[in-house]
Structure 1
């Protein structure tokens, strides 16, 4: 059980794909060459890489790829690989920002900041598993700005703003994602015309290639998407490893992709266009003039009967563009996007067309088996995911389904080219491979193998479903995510410091506990407890309390707190950002974990506690359990 409990730290499940030897043998030459290149550490910042065993001008898969110096290169990406559209005439000459995202260059980013500030930054997080406030809206961000000195490719900037980034799954204390804002404290300070950098830690993608590869496919299909390349980050002398440098979706992005940048840009985070789901949509531009008219209009349109549905939707969104957006989300298996999880998406209210245009975001979970996240993580079909109401109404509408499937089939025929996809991955690894930290190499190799194998299998699976389908969509519409009080729990525990991690958490400690859910007492069997370092941080402690319940399920509390709070007599409040409490359900039959709720209020008291190995840990807790309608 230790691996399960380690992986669900903070209520998150690591999305791992185990790679067997036969799996690796599917593409041994490609992987062997990439592994050799990484181990010898190619210098990706040079104009060319003559010593690399993966030659940029020689396609391993037989594709005609050109060279890194080819005139067709735009933002470091070869146009012939995936059919990316040509940039507007003069765009590169008039906008220096393209140099920030050149795919052939590894950005060298050096950050210097006060060590105490960095410790404060990296441990900031949202309180509790339930990242939505009880009123069905996003709670205030816990992230604050700090001052730093930042060098990019040797160019130094003083008084730069830096903060942590991440909503839930990508949050890390050991390798935080960063927002860098050059003009936070110095007016008009920019790097190559860019005010910001967004540096993603790629926590959910140890291969590092998923984000750029997926955005390239959106761009190739004609959907506005962020530019993307790679950075090697050093912070206060510590090698943080490879980051993915993704373009921030701000006014400059809008200007590059739309004729008029005066419209409103919105971000959806566990959001949809129906009652109880719009409160988490955040207006990202023109914030001083809140405007949700277009959101309300689309919400109303989706309530229309079938005979009026398509006309009603077309009056609010660019339906043709949305069908392409949806189809590419499916092609790249973006299960955590709008269609699959009503998450990680933006949309722009374009004044020129007077229509909404959807923009992808948060694609680090792509190119792996798509899942239905809140439906016990069941595998999703390969040609449709319709958790979002807009997708659901279209797919359950005969004409809407026909148009969507035609668009998906056409895009697969024109853009799902295995040789081009593999060549693009090869080019990426040539650039950043030498900067992968040694302690991340195994995860890098395994995940790269997973991506390569998925590409081949997914293309076949999509074509098979289209030929034998269409797939029926019989998944129920999700309940609301508004938070409500589910119940309460209180009890005592006794264990020792260092008992976590352990193979059997029922053997490492004891407990007495009572719990109610939906006004019903929950019969509990055996109760255990264990405590030790939080797996990601030696500055945090983690307490786990597993409880055997009926049907063989195991409920368990995960409680995380600062290490220095593990002292006799300490009383911790789970409403504070520095403390975390969640309750999850583990099903041994399916080896799956799903969240039940979080502790929006409550306390934990240590009657005896120390972080000395083997020291007794005794305490008690009393918490309310809150959750949403999943």
Structure 2
């Protein structure tokens, strides 16, 4: 196995006053931030801290949202997210996924593993995620524009809610604006309306006025390859480029991937179909020219990037770097044997999923 790539795991030192820590733990669903300090290397930061996530707040190992007060930025970020990766026995699925999206040409948050100490006591391995906001765009030299987080299953690009099978109360239901204006909300509503009302004969031409289709197809391939079942209706952000007026997809929270579901259970390699699902995907793949472009892109990626040969060095590099810290993680050290088997599990999934998708490509009609 190739272990030539070296990954450094920095240590972060988090200090929360015992009273504030007790208050933080008192109500895990409270989003009100509390004061804390963060030390990284020789630098110290005054921060606000709160728990993050939905069902993951119930886990023993919590995930955090950190906002920087003084100084106001850290590594060019106003805020960062520290994900516990508690359910994933490998602790690398999220990073492996988001890096894969980036490599195939999709906007994707930067990530790095860190080892956290809380008030001097080891709290374990965390994945630091870049916040998707205006600074995310600035760092990439992209035009400013609205960013919306998909916060629940209503972000399915449909007029019907999958939550209660009824008409949505508003077209922007399922989204939370991270940055932008009320005028941008109008563009989002128009997008959802057009996706659902453009006649079939006109869809291929008209949708290109609202969606960066080629980038959407690359995002779709990322979801299909990593097999994120939830990725079609949440676990993403929407970015509207102010210069082009087109919407793009940004992946988010991809720990339930590479052969495991959101509970860490095995998800068979053929569980998610090659066509995916959600209304926008169905309508785009209904257009012959888009479907053929999807097929062409997917064939290329299955040949070059979604392969055991391409992914094995990345998997082994992350695994090798993390292993000493797993032994220090109070929430993960007892599961070291399972951790040791995950690289082989992930690479077998890649081989099986690649073969399955190649077989499905043959049946993807023109």
| TM norm structure 2 | 0.85
Separation of aligned partners in 1, 2:346 and 2:356: 15
* 2:100 is the alignment partner of 1:213: no
- Counterpart secondary structure, 1:252: helix
- Counterpart secondary structure, 1:232: strand
Please tell me whether the aligned partners of residues 81 and 130 of structure 2 are also in contact (alpha carbons under 8 angstroms): yes
Pick aligned residue for 2:173 from 267, 279, 294? 279
Evaluate the alpha carbon distance shift between residue 313 and residue 459 of structure 1 in structure 2; reply closer, same or farther with a 3 A threshold: farther
Separation of aligned partners in 2, 1:286 and 1:302: 21
Separation of aligned partners in 2, 1:443 and 1:294: 47
Q: Which residue number corresponds to residue 227 of structure 1?
A: 110
* 2:316 is the alignment partner of 1:426: yes
* 2:353 is the alignment partner of 1:467: no
Please tell me whether the aligned partners of residues 14 and 38 of structure 2 are also in contact (alpha carbons under 8 angstroms): yes
Gaps in structure 1 of 5+ consecutive residues: 1-29, 31-58, 69-103, 127-141, 372-376, 474-630
Report the CA distance between 1:331 and its aligned residue: 0.9
Deviations 1:46-72 (A, max 9, x none): xxxxxxxxxxxxx25xxxx5x54xxxx
Report the CA distance between 1:452 and its aligned residue: 2.9
Separation of aligned partners in 2, 1:209 and 1:382: 21
* 2:250 is the alignment partner of 1:363: no
Evaluate the alpha carbon distance shift between residue 402 and residue 201 of structure 1 in structure 2; reply closer, same or farther with a 3 A threshold: same
Report the CA distance between 1:252 and its aligned residue: 1.6
Q: Which residue number corresponds to residue 526 of structure 1?
A: none
Report the CA distance between 1:449 and its aligned residue: 2.5
Report the CA distance between 1:208 and its aligned residue: 1.2
Higher relative contact order (CA 8 A, sep 6+): 2
- Counterpart secondary structure, 2:244: coil
Evaluate the alpha carbon distance shift between residue 470 and residue 396 of structure 1 in structure 2; reply closer, same or farther with a 3 A threshold: farther
Pick aligned residue for 1:267 from 149, 161, 168? 149
Separation of aligned partners in 2, 1:395 and 1:123: 48
Q: Which residue number corresponds to residue 119 of structure 1?
A: 22
CA RMSD of aligned residues (A): 2.7
Evaluate the alpha carbon distance shift between residue 397 and residue 122 of structure 1 in structure 2; reply closer, same or farther with a 3 A threshold: farther
Pick aligned residue for 1:435 from 325, 332, 348? 325
Report the CA distance between 1:354 and its aligned residue: 1.8
Gaps in structure 2 of 5+ consecutive residues: 160-167
Pick aligned residue for 1:200 from 63, 83, 89? 83
Separation of aligned partners in 2, 1:367 and 1:123: 35
Where in structure 2 are the equivalents of 1:508-519 lying within 5 Å? none
Evaluate the alpha carbon distance shift between residue 272 and residue 258 of structure 1 in structure 2; reply closer, same or farther with a 3 A threshold: farther
Separation of aligned partners in 1, 2:58 and 2:121: 16
Separation of aligned partners in 1, 2:290 and 2:308: 29
* 2:287 is the alignment partner of 1:393: no
Count of residue pairs brought into register by the alignment: 346
Larger % of helix: which? 2
Please tell me whether the aligned partners of residues 229 and 272 of structure 2 are also in contact (alpha carbons under 8 angstroms): no
* 2:39 is the alignment partner of 1:151: yes
Deviations 1:18-44 (A, max 9, x none): xxxxxxxxxxxx6xxxxxxxxxxxxxx
Separation of aligned partners in 2, 1:243 and 1:114: 21
* 2:84 is the alignment partner of 1:162: no
Please tell me whether the aligned partners of residues 150 and 234 of structure 2 are also in contact (alpha carbons under 8 angstroms): yes
Q: Give 4+ residue runs of structure 1 displaced > 6 Å after superposition.
A: none
Deviations 1:543-582 (A, max 9, x none): xxxxxxxxxxxxxxxxxxxxxxxxxxxxxxxxxxxxxxxx
Separation of aligned partners in 1, 2:225 and 2:333: 28
Please tell me whether the aligned partners of residues 209 and 428 of structure 1 are also in contact (alpha carbons under 8 angstroms): yes
Pick aligned residue for 1:352 from 240, 243, 267? 243
- Counterpart secondary structure, 1:241: strand
Report the CA distance between 1:147 and its aligned residue: 0.5
Deviations 1:430-450 (A, max 9, x none): 333222126523535425534
Where in structure 2 are the equivalents of 1:71-220 lying within 5 Å? 104-126=7-29, 142-158=30-46, 160-168=47-55, 170-172=56-58, 174-183=60-69, 186=70, 188-220=71-103
Larger radius of gyration: 1
Report the CA distance between 1:470 and its aligned residue: 5.4
| TM norm structure 1 | 0.51
Report the CA distance between 1:290 and its aligned residue: 5.2
